[in-house]
A and B are shown apart, each in its own frame.
Chain A
Amino acid sequence: MFDLQNVTKVYPNQVVALSGVTLRIERGEFVFLVGASGAGKSTLVKLLYREELPTRGRLFFNGRNITGLRASQVPYLRRRVGVVFQDCKLLPHKTAQGNVAFALEVTGAGAYLIRRRVPAVLELVGLADKARAYPHELSGGEQQRVALARAIVNNPSVVIADEPTGNLDPQTAWEIVRLLGEINRRGRTVIMATHAKAIVNRMGKRVVALDRGRIFRDDENGVYDDGLL
C-alpha cells in the first residue's frame, strides 16, 4: 500500500526530520510508528497524506509515485486516506453528525448518501446517541470518536492517526485504539503514530521505531521497549 524508498526530508530551516527511510506497509496492516518527540513520526505521517513532500527519495501509494502528484490530484488521494489528529480538528459550530457529514459534503456526496452513511459510522464509533451534540458538549474521548467517524466516512482504504490518544486518559485512549483495531479488522490499513507505550505493548501489532529520523527497529508483534531507545 505504502512504499517509501530511501526517503529524506529536510525542512527549509535545515532540520533533517527523516534521513534515508525505507519502509513498506502492506494493505490491511496495523502499524505503530513509535519514537521520542522529534524522532520524525509526525513528518513521516505528513508524507503519507501528502501534507509534506520528501526532499529526496520516492514514495508510492498503491503503486503510484505520489511525490510527483499534481496539486489538482491531491484531493483525490486524500479521499482514500482518512486522517485523525491529537487535537481532533472538529468544527465547533457543527454537531457531531454535522462534522461527519461535512467530510462527505465537501467531496460532493449527495443527500441520500450522507443520510445513510453518517448514522452508520457514528454507530460504529459508539456515538449514535450523541449525534446532535456539539463538540464542547462531548468528552475528549467522544470528540476523538467523532474525528474517527469523520476519517472513515469517505470509506478510505487507510486510516492514519497522529498521536490520537495524546490528550486522553489511559482508559479512554485504549478505547480509541480498540476502535482503530476494529476499523482494521474491517479491512482498512491503520497507521498510528504514538508514544503510548502501554497501548503499543497491549495491542501486539507491527512496531516501526524511529530515532533521529531513521528507522532503527521494525518488528512484527513488537513491543515499545525503552531500553532500545
Chain B
Amino acid sequence: MAFFRSLGRGVLEALGGVVANSVMSLASISTVALTMLILAGFLLAAVNLDHLATVVESQIQLRVYLADGLAEEDFRQLEARIAGLPGVVSHAYVDRKEALERFRGYLADDQGLLEAVEELDALPDSFEIHVLRPDLVERVAYELKGQPGIASISYPAETVRRLIDVTNLLRLGGLAVALLLTGVAVFIIANTIRITVFARRDEITIMKLVGAADWYIRWPFLLEGTLLGMVGAGLAALAAGAGYRWLIALFFQRLPFLPLVAPEPLLGKLSLVLLVLGALVGVVGSQISVRRLLRV
C-alpha cells in the first residue's frame, strides 16, 4: 500500500518536474533525441554494410569471362578444368544473351544505359563459379589465370574485403561518436535534474529532517531523468524509422539490386535498443546530480 502510494507520488512529481522545468526538459529531450538519432544512423549504416558484405560474399564468388569465338573443344576442356579444381562446388555457364537479360532486369528504367551495353557487347559469355569457402576464391582464380580461352577473371573478394574494412571503420567511428554524444546527453540530463533538485531544495531539507527514506527522496528525480531520456530516445526511434523507410523506398526505385536490410524487424530492434539506452542515459544523468546534491 505504502509502496504504491509513493509510486503514484513519484510519477506525479516527476511529471511536475518536467513541466515546471520545461525549457531545460525540452533541451535535454532534444539533445538525447539528436544523440540517439545520430547513433541510429550509424547503427543502420553498419547493419546494411554488414548485410551487403555477406550478400556479395555469398553471391557469385568468381566469374570467368570467356574469350570470343571459343572453339567447342576448348570450351569443354575449360569447363572440365574448372569442375576439377579443388574447392569448386558448382559452376554455371551464362551466355551473353542471358547476361544482358539479367542486366535488363536490374536496369529496366534506364533504357539509354541498356542500349549502350548492348551496342558495346560489354557482357561476354562467362562461367559463374561457387567455391566452398570465400578464402578459396583467390586460389581458384590463381589456378585459372592464363588458361587458354579465358579473357578475364573477376572476383569480389577484394570488394568484400574493402567493404568489411569500411564497415569496421564505420563501427569504430560510430562507437566513438556515440560515446561522445552519450556523454553530452548524460551531462545535459544531469544539469536538468540539478535544476529540479535545486528548485525543490527546501522540500528536500524538510523531507530529510522528518525522516523520509533516502530512496523516497531520490526516486522521483531518477524517474524524471529516465523519462527525459526515454522520450528523447522514442523521438529518435520514430525519426530514424521514418527516415529509413524513406531511404529504402528511394533506393528501391533507383538502385533495386542493392541488397538493403528490410525495415522489419530491424526497426523494432533498433527502437528497443534506443529506448533502453535512453533510459540508461537518464538514470545515469539524474543519479550523478542526485548523488551529489542529496548527500545525507
Contacts and interface: CB of A to CB of B under 8 A. Distances in A.
Interface string A196-222: 000000000000000000000000000
A106 B9 CA distance: 10
Interface string A68-80: 0001101111110
A107 B211 contact: yes
B296 A89 contact: no
Contacts of B296: 71, 74
B210 A107 contact: yes
B210 A150 contact: yes
B206 A102 contact: yes
A71 B214 contact: yes
Given A71-B296, A74-B296, A91-B203, A106 B210 contact: yes
A79 B210 CA distance: 6
Interface string B1-31: 1100110010000000000000000000000
A83 B209 contact: yes
B211 A75 contact: yes
A14 to B, nearest CB: 22
Contacts of A109: 2
A174 interface: no
B214 A107 contact: no
A75 B296 CA distance: 9
Contacts of A110: 1-2, 5
A108 interface: yes
A49 interface: yes
A75 B214 contact: yes
B210 A154 contact: yes
B216 interface: yes
B5 A107 contact: no
B169 to A, nearest CB: 48
Contact of A78 (B2, B6, B210): B210
B207 A106 contact: yes
Interface in A55-114: 71-72, 74-79, 83, 89, 91, 102-103, 105-110
Contacts of A71: 214, 296
Interface string B196-217: 0000001101111111111011
A65 to B, nearest CB: 18
Nearest to A111: B5
Contacts of A107: 210-213
B206 A89 contact: yes
Interface residues of A, number: 22
Nearest to A90: B206
Interface residues of B, number: 20
Nearest to A102: B206
Among A76, A108, A109, the most chain B Cβ lie within 10 Å of the Cβ of A108
B216 A89 contact: no
Contacts of B2: 108-110
A211 B4 CA distance: 50
Contacts of B210: 78-79, 102-103, 106-107, 150, 154
Interface in B173-230: 202-203, 205-214, 216-217
Contacts of B216: 106, 108
Contacts of A103: 206, 210
A108 B219 CA distance: 14
Contacts of B208: 75, 78
Contacts of B1: 110
A106 B296 CA distance: 16
B128 to A, nearest CB: 70
Interface in B63-103: none
B205 A89 contact: yes
Nearest to A74: B296
A89 B209 contact: yes
Contacts of B212: 75, 106-107
Nearest to A105: B9
25 contacts: A71-B296, A72-B214, A74-B296, A75-B214, A76-B211, A77-B211, A78-B210, A79-B211, A83-B209, A89-B206, A91-B202, A91-B206, A103-B210, A105-B9, A106-B207, A106-B212, A106-B217, A107-B210, A107-B212, A107-B213, A108-B2, A108-B213, A108-B216, A109-B2, A110-B1
Interface of A: 49, 71-72, 74-79, 83, 89, 91, 102-103, 105-110, 150, 154
Interface of B: 1-2, 5-6, 9, 202-203, 205-214, 216-217, 296
